[in-house]
Structures are given as C-alpha cells and as structure tokens.
Amino acid sequence: MINKLLITGAAGGVGTLVHDKLTSIAKTVRYSDIKEPTYLSADMEFIPCDLSNKAAVFSLLKDCDAILHLGGISTENTFDNILQANIVGVQNLYEAARHHNYPRIFLASSNHVVGFYKQDEWLDSNAPHRPDSWYGVSKSFAEAVAHMYYHKFGQETAIVRIGSCFPTPKDHRMLATWFSADDLVALLKQVVTVPKLGCPIIYGVSNNDCKWWDNSPISYLGWQAKDNSQVFANEIYQTVPMPDKNDPTSVYQGGSFTAAPIVEATDKSN
Ligand code: NAI
Ligand code: 15L
C-alpha cells in the first residue's frame, strides 16, 4: 500500500465512480479538480487546482507517491480549451512529477487516440495513432509526453486508453468498450505496486465478450479484467435502437467522435 495517492479530475464521472474504492491502495488520498466533488466530506483532503496553472500543479504534487490523472476535458471541445486543460495541463503535470521525484502516474488516455480504426480491427499497443478529434489528438500528445519522460528520466507511467468507463454501458458500441470501475481500480492497484512498471500502453476495457483490444503485452502486471458487459446486453438490445450499419457508431472504434465537427470558439480570436 502506498502512502498518498493524488487524483486529478476527482469531481468528474470516473473520479466519482472510484473515489470510495481506493482504501486498499493508499493510506491517504488527495482529491483535486477545478470544482468540488459532490461526495466531498470534511475528512477528505481536497485541493482545488487548474491544471493549466503551473505553480498550482507544482504545489499539488508535493508528497504524493502516485497519481491517478483523470483531470482535463473529456470530450470534443474548442482547440483552445483542450490546449489549456489537456496539453498545457499534461506538460505541467510531468514537469511537477520530475520536480517531486517521479511519482508513478496512471494516465487516463482514451480509445479516441485510435478512434479511426474500424470495429472489425484487432489492435494492440503497436497500432499507429489514428485520433478522431482534437480531444484524441490531445491524448496522443499526453502519451508522447509519458514516453519522453520515461526514456529521458525513467518516469514510470501506465498509459491507459480507457474505452467507456461508466456505471453501465450506454449503447451497443459500449458493449465492446465498457470498462468497469472495479476493473479500473484493480488495474490502478497493480500499477502503483508492481515492482517494475515501465511505460506500457494498456487498453482500459473489461473482459467483455466482444472487444477490439489486445492487452496480452501487459500480462506482466498481473492484472486481468474481470467484469463483462454481457450482463447488460439484453437491456441494451431492448432499450437502445440498433444503429444503422453505416453509422459511425457502428463503423469506427471511436464511434460518434469520428463524425464530431470541429468546435468553433465563440471568441474568434481563439
Ligand atoms: P469528466 O469530464 O467527467 O471529468 C473530468 C474532470 O476534469 C472534471 O471534473 C473537470 O472539472 C476536470 N477538469 C477539466 N479541466 C480541468 C482543468 N483545467 N484543471 C483541473 N481539472 C479540470 O471525465 P471522466 O469521464 O471522469 O474521465 C476522466 C478521465 O478519463 C478524462 O481524462 C477522460 O479524458 C478520460 N477518459 C474517460 C473515459 C470515460 O469513458 N469516462 C473514456 C476515455 C478516457
Ligand atoms: C472518452 O474518451 C470520453 O471521455 C467518454 O466521455 C466517452 O465518450 C468514451 O471516450 C467513449 O468512447 O465511450
């Protein structure tokens, strides 16, 4: 068990899903976000921090043994917003980690790094990036930063290309991409405790009957996903209309993100 785990983006969907499952991983948890988590109680350490603020991020990482980095913009947005939260934010995080003796990082990357692969393609960690959005591009940048800090400084990171981490799958595509909170937490536990982590690319996906991603290269971590979206399949088939076979959600791994328009800034100076 480690002493202190930092969670960025703690107020978001994934942070909210996992926050009460971390007692077997860290003695204490530091929660951070630009907004307060709804579940916050007086006995929890919460430090508000905008990831684009370098000085604030440097203070935030003090005394942390590992980081679950969830913070940032999690869907398509204006390039400028993504630039601040996901690109400047990641650069600040890794510089602060270098300053604070390289705590291990669980980096929430995304399947949208490879969103333009078709759903009948089987990918492993060697698949060249095919991002489907500025959001996906920002996650490609984050992965590149993780690799650079590993090779230059030995900073260890688990690059986790999360599929769809929600309480349950929401549609037909998510029957393949669903990643349960329990599987994520079990992975986090291995990431922070395994003697040698390195800088692996891991697909954050549960043990679903249908999936598109090969995690065999990371068997050395001693983690195997246990949950299976199949238990929700009947409900999805009964309640969610089957999309047309030519709809992006049926064709591409990244689903609707592949068809998302460029989000224009309302302020044209951006
Ligand atoms: P979310 O959007 O619910 O949560 C992200 C959190 O980051 C929010 O609470 C937000 O306030 C915070 N945030 C945004 N900008 C920030 C900034 N500049 N400084 C500090 N905090 C900031 O996203 P969710 O679903 O919880 O995802 C968590 C992470 O996992 C994200 O990085 C997302 O890209 C990634 N991910 C999530 C997937 C999912 O299925 N939920 C799938 C693939 C990746
Ligand atoms: C993501 O990267 C998003 O953060 C999340 O909101 C979902 O859209 C997920 O991917 C997905 O592809 O289902």
pLDDT in tens, 22-72: 999 999 999 999 999 999 999 999 999 999 999 999 999 999 999 999 999
The whole-number pLDDT of residue 268 equals 56
The whole-number pLDDT of residue 266 equals 82
Please name which of 206, 197, 202, 230 lies closest in space to residue 216, comparing C-alpha atoms. Answer: 202
Q: List 5's β-bridge partners, or say none.
A: 29, 66
Locus of tokens 């942070």: 15
What is d(CA 190, CA 1) in angstroms, rounded to the nearest whole number? 10
The three-state DSSP-derived secondary structure of the chain is CEEEEEEECCCCHHHHHHHHHCCCCEEEEEEEECCCCCCCCCCCEEEECCCCCHHHHHHHCCCCCEEEECCCCCCCCCHHHHHHHHHHHHHHHHHHHHHCCCCEEEEEEEHHHHCCCECCCCECCCCCCCCCCHHHHHHHHHHHHHHHHHHHHCCCEEEEEECECCCCCCCCCHHHHECCHHHHHHHHHHHHHCCCCCCCEEEECCCCCCCCECCHHHHHHCCCCCCCHHHHHHHHHHHCCCCCCCCHHHHECCHHHHHCCCCCCCCCCC
CA 13 to ligand 2: nearest atom: 6
CB 73 less than 6 A from any atom of ligand 1: yes
How many CA atoms lie less than 13 Å away from 193 in the CB half-sphere? 14
CB 110 less than 6 A from any atom of ligand 1: yes
Mutation probe of ligand 2 site: the residue of 17, 75, 86, 253 with most atoms within 8 A of C-beta = 75
Mark whether 150 is an active-site residue.
no
Cβ pair 31, 45 in contact under 8 A: yes
What is d(CA 260, CA 257) in angstroms, rounded to the nearest whole number? 5
The residue whose CA is least distant from atom 2 of ligand 2 is 110
CB 13 less than 6 A from any atom of ligand 1: yes
Q: Spell out, as residue ranges, where the chain has pLDDT lower than 70.
A: 267-270
CA 136 to ligand 2: nearest atom: 2
Residue 47 tokens, joined: 């430090």
Rounded distance from Cα 74 to ligand 2 centre (Å): 7
Mutation probe of ligand 1 site: the residue of 7, 14, 109 with most atoms within 8 A of C-beta = 14
CA 164 to ligand 1: nearest atom: 40
- Catalytic hit among 135, 149, 203, 252: 135
Rounded distance from Cα 135 to ligand 2 centre (Å): 10
CB 57 less than 6 A from any atom of ligand 1: no
Rounded distance from Cα 57 to ligand 1 centre (Å): 16
The whole-number pLDDT of residue 269 equals 52
CA angle 250-252-257, nearest 5°? 100
Cβ pair 236, 244 in contact under 8 A: no
